[in-house]
């Protein structure tokens, strides 16, 4: 806490990433939606590779790795002050992030929860787009659980833009966006479409060019939720 008469510290948000491609989208979202926030990055690029090697199954060891990351991030505030919040940007690790949330006193935000909340407010038919295949079952389960808690039973349809992540990592951003637009075009009529990964948010305009429904990105939604929690 600040002392009497001292200037109010900016809210410090620690961002935890599993892929480097998620860094730019969330930083851009903060510039657009909450530039006053004090944001910092933690990166463990082995997380997504190890999850894929384990067949997309979150084991106890992976969950403990997330707990360790969360404890480190929570204690990374200035002058002994705890960080104000943690935002994970890795979409395939919902149960591991929930374990972090259960043991920390500060807000711990899952990457997709804000976009999912907005989608559920929009309607009962939700499209879900990903480029990392293990994300789809995890995100579908997370959205279904949120819906049950709110007393809703949405219809969720997902699509995988196969090769999209590889294209982005190879520097072929236009191909990445085109693959996501193609996957979006394959969806039936829905009330809202959620781009389920931070790294894929850059394809929002390409998707909007082929779909009339609202297209929600996880970075912008997460920043809006955090800003509202601290500033109202």
Mean pLDDT of 57-78: 90
| Out of 3-7, 11-15, 56-60, 190-194, least confident range | 3-7
- Judged against a pLDDT cut of 80, whether residue 7 lies above it is answered with no
Mean pLDDT score, 15-26 = 93
Mean pLDDT in residue range 108-115: 94
Query: Tell me: the pLDDT tens digits for 136-189?
Result: 988 899 899 999 999 999 999 999 999 999 999 999 999 999 999 999 999 999
Q: Using a pLDDT cut of 90, give the percent of the chain over it.
A: 76
Average pLDDT of the residues of the chain:
91
CATH of 12-111+220-231, one of 3.55.40.20, 1.10.1040.10, 3.40.50.1860, 3.40.190.80: 3.40.50.1860
Query: Which residue reads 């104000």 in tokens?
Result: 84
Q: Which of 55-59, 70-74, 184-188, 216-220 has the lowest mean pLDDT?
A: 55-59
| Cα–Cα distance measured from residue 91 to residue 196, given in angstroms and rounded to the nearest whole number | 7
Average pLDDT over residues 93-104: 92
Domain borders along the chain are 12-111+220-231, 113-217
- Which residues are within 8 A (CB) of 181 and not within 5 positions of it... i.e. 6 or more apart? 203, 206, 207, 209, 210
User: Is 80 exceeded by the pLDDT of residue 78?
Assistant: no
Contacts of 172 (CB under 8 A, 6+ apart): none
Q: Which tokens in the block code for residue 204?
A: 């929002």
CA distances (Å), origin 106, targets 41, 113, 159: 17, 16, 34
What predicted TM-score, i.e. pTM, was given to this entire model? 0.87
Domain 113-217: assigned CATH number: 3.40.50.1860
What band does 76 get if pLDDT is binned at 50, 70 and 90? confident
pLDDT at 98 (0 to 100): 93
Same fold, 12-111+220-231 and 113-217: yes
- As a whole number, mean pLDDT of residues 203-207 equals 97
Q: Say what the pLDDT of residue 8 is.
A: 46
């Amino acid at each position: 806490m600040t002392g009497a008469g001292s200037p109010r510290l900016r809210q410090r948000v620690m961002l935890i990433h599993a892929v480097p491609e998620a860094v730019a989208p969330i930083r851009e979202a903060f510039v657009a939606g909450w530039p006053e926030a004090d944001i910092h990055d933690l990166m463990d690029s082995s997380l997504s590779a190890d999850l894929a090697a384990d067949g997309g199954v979150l084991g106890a060891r992976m969950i403990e790795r997330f707990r360790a990351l969360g404890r480190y991030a929570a204690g990374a505030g200035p002058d002994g002050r705890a960080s104000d919040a943690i935002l994970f940007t890795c979409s395939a690790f919902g149960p591991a992030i929930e374990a972090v949330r259960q043991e920390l006193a500060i807000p711990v935000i899952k990457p997709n929860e804000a976009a999912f909340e907005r989608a559920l407010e929009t309607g009962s038919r939700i499209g879900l787009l990903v480029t990392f295949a293990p994300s789809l079952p995890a995100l579908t389960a997370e959205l279904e659980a949120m819906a049950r808690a709110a007393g809703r039973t949405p219809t969720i349809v997902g699509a995988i833009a196969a090769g999209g992540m590889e294209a982005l990592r190879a520097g072929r951003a236009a191909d990445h966006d085109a693959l996501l637009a193609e996957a979006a075009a394959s969806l039936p009529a829905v009330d809202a479409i959620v781009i389920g990964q931070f790294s894929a948010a850059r394809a929002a305009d390409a998707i909007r060019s082929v779909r009339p429904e609202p297209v929600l990105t996880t970075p912008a939604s997460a920043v809006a939720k955090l800003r509202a929690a601290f500033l109202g």
